[in-house]
Amino acid sequence: MSELPFACGAVPLTARLRAAPEDFIVEEILGYDADGAGEHALLWVEKRGANTDWVARELARFAEVPPVNVGYAGLKDRHAVTRQAFSVQLPGRPDPDWSALPCAEVKVLAATRHSRKLKRGALRGNRFVLTLREVHGEREAAERVLQQIAARGVPNYFGEQRFGREGGNLAQARAMFAGRRMDRDKRSILLSAARSQIFNSVLAARVEQGTWDTALPGEIWSLAGSRSWFGPEPFDDALAGRLAQGDIHPSGPLWGEGDPPATDVVGALERQVAAEHVDLAEGLAKARMEHERRALRLMPKDLRWRWLDDATLELTFELPAGAYATVVVRELANLGA
């Protein structure tokens, strides 16, 4: 991530993040309420320093159901305090006493009934409260960067979590494309890493050009808060207004088989970048992945900040599902261990 270009210029601060789990608080925004009836218990769970998959297995064990009966909308950071929803299918059975869950790291805050299992990705976004500690640097410059982020957003890079420890998922993806067998779950992770690398490379090229948040000929537009996209079409005043309001964003490729939908200048750039990662692009095509799109611009919602003391800065903001809080912070501060 440190090699990807920055949109706001020189990073004004150095700081520590995650000195304790409480420094990285994440709360899911599902965007809908429970039905109040059904065979699934919909749980609102707080976990601290725990892996989402581990919590799901612990809930299944406590409820005495198979792990497949437990659903959740999104994976959440382990080194954090997170509040998220889980569903537990209990056909013909009452809820157990969730307060008796024997896990110090996990607390069930609320439980109700719902008609459906939670599916991966079925959430509107996430709300973050991040505390940067041991902050050093130019405070006035940091204020300018924060104001710029609030007004303009940041490049919507995939975060380093997508690529595994020390980027190992890319090496494994290349090995898989060369013929190494992988189990189904691992295969999905590696395909995502390959697509993310091509997307980040396209976005990096447009950040260097200064065009990551503006229109180019052949643009494909991503609808804010949606996976839908449209174009290319001539850029007119109506599109310019929607771009300025944050209703649409320029998009980049999630690579697949066949020709990418972008044309003209955008299409040429994307094909050039894909050619620089030909093993990944060809592997994704052979895997029969469909072309999809992802917004190049990430607009944090309700971005606020306050200095708790001279060396401690608190940030709060909301992001849509699939976006990374760390790509917001990287424009502001170089993070130490």
State how beta strands 229-230 and 292-295 pair: unpaired
- For the chain, the residue count is 337
Q: Which of 33, 77, 95, 259 is catalytic?
A: 77
Q: Between the CA of residue 289 and those of 191, 235, 260, 330, what are the distances in Å?
A: 9, 29, 12, 31
Long-range contacts of 50-55 (CB under 8 A, 24+ apart): 50/78, 50/103, 50/105, 50/106, 51/78, 52/76, 52/82, 52/84, 55/86, 55/103, 55/105, 55/106
Alpha-carbon distances, residue 105 vs 19, 60, 69 (angstroms): 17, 16, 21
Please confirm, yes or no, whether 77 is among the known catalytic residues: yes
In 3D space, the residue among 157, 152, 58, 162 whose CA is nearest the CA of residue 106 turns out to be: 58
The helix/strand/coil state of 303 is strand
Q: Is 142 helix (H, G, I), strand (E, B) or coil?
A: helix
Strand partners, 47: 82, 106
Residues assigned a catalytic role: 77
